[in-house]
Amino acid sequence: MPIKSILVALDGGERTPATLETALMLVGRFGARADVLHVRPDALTDVPAIGEGMSGQLADAVSHGNALRSEQRARLAREVFERACGVDHPSMTFVERVGRRHAVMARLGRVHDLILVGPPSDPRDIAHSLTMDALFLTGRPVLVVPHKAPASLGEHVAVAWNGSAECARALGGASNFLPHAKRVTILTAESARTPRSVVPELADYLARHTAAPVETRIIGQLGKHHLGGRQLLEAVRESGADLLVMGARKLGRLERLMLGSATQDVLRDADLPVLMGH
């Protein structure tokens, strides 16, 4: 499906300008329209829980502080938009919604072809971020923009591949980027779950979607272990790619602690755009 409708999520934090700048790049490339979304928390549902040790006065102070931060973020998001796009951009529309962040993202994300978000604003609480809401609640491809807008995007595409359904969904989201690529690199780690034979199958598929040369790199022999996000990012940097395509896997808390999560590592440490699917 061609990309004609993009949802750009701005949280009003320091990463907001990079996300918007990248969105402008893609709107021009695909001839798409973009809804630039900021979600303002509903005051009625954003009241802090009052524990035994919290007085009514303290609860009011906490609630007031939250309201001030919310207002500041909403103002910054709109200012960044108007500075970059003006008040009446032909392809970019600023949209503000009030409500629960995850519910708004789920509803609007599902009716857009691509979602742009920044990385989680708090690395200590990735699970409850707007980024994770986009990845796991919408069913749409999600482009995670790093702290700084890229100079190029999709000229050299790296595809992290293990043959999983998550990787296949990310690959489907990349179909609009592949025709623009000048080079494509398949990155895979051979393991008990990922045989080397998955690589030529993907290479054949890519050859039908891009005229760019396709190369393969086996970046590890893992046996029964899982590929770590840091190892993957190091391979991406060595390849020189400017876009990483990978599946996003959601793990339970205990499993994540035992095995580590490539998704979590990449979201925390990536310095290039990452197109994810779940």
232 and 106 belong to one structural domain? no
Domain shared by 120 and 29, yes or no: yes
Task: State whether 128 and 220 are in the same domain.
Answer: no
- Identify whether residues 56 and 36 lie together within a single domain: yes
- Same domain assignment for residues 261 and 222: yes
What pLDDT, on the 0 to 100 scale, is given for residue 55? Answer: 64
Most confident range (mean pLDDT) of 8-22, 33-47, 215-229 is 8-22
- Indicate if 79 and 183 belong to the same structural domain: no
User: Does residue 215 share a domain with residue 89?
Assistant: no
Q: pTM of the entire structure?
A: 0.90
Residue-range definition of the domain harbouring residue 124:
5-144
Structure tokens belonging to residue 228: 């770590």
Hey, what amino acid is at 275?
Answer: L
Query: What CATH number has the domain bearing residue 185?
Result: 3.40.50.620
Domain boundary among 89, 115, 144: 144
48 within a domain of the structure (yes/no): yes
Please report which confidence band the pLDDT of residue 223 belongs to, taking 50, 70 and 90 as the band edges.
low
- Token pair 């708090």 is at which residue? 122
The residue written with tokens 């990349």 in the block is 174
Query: Which is it for strands 92-98 and 5-9: parallel, antiparallel or unpaired?
Result: unpaired
- Answer whether residue 151 is part of any domain: no
Report yes or no on 222 lying in a domain. yes
- CA-to-CA distance for 94 and 2, rounded, in angstroms? 22
* Residue 143 near residue 275, CB atoms below 8 Å: yes
The set of residues, in sequence order, having a beta carbon less than 8 Å from that of 270 and lying 6+ positions away, is 119, 144, 146, 233, 244
CB 173 within 8 A of CB 277: yes
10 plus 134 within the same structural domain: yes
Q: Which of 144, 177, 199 is the last residue of a domain?
A: 144
- The yes-or-no verdict on residue 125 having pLDDT over 80 is no
Q: Are residues 224 and 186 in the same domain?
A: yes
Going 26 to 176 to 191 to 238, the CA torsion angle's sign is negative
Q: What is the pLDDT of residues 243-269, one digit of tens each?
A: 999 999 876 554 444 334 788 889 989
Name the more confident of 85 and 127: 85
Query: Is residue 93 a part of any domain in this protein?
Result: yes
Q: Comparing 23-32, 127-136, 159-168, 229-238, which segment has the lowest mean pLDDT?
A: 127-136
**pLDDT value at 277 more than 50:** yes
149 lies in some domain:
no
Domain count, the chain: 2
Query: Do 140 and 161 sit in the same domain of this protein?
Result: no
Helix axis angle for 101-109 and 130-137, nearest 10°, is 40
Q: What is the mean pLDDT of the chain?
A: 88
Query: Looking at the domain assignment, is residue 128 inside a domain?
Result: yes
pLDDT tens across 27-67, in order? Answer: 999 999 999 999 998 766 555 554 455 566 766 666 767 78
Q: Residue 112 falls within a domain, yes or no?
A: yes
Residue 257 to residue 259: CA distance in whole angstroms: 6
CB atoms near residue 231 (< 10 Å): 17
Domain termination residue (choose one: 144, 177, 193): 144
* Residue environment code for 51-72, b if the CB has 16+ CB neighbours within 10 A, otherwise e: eeeeeeeeeeeeeeeeeeebee
Strand partners, 274: 144, 244
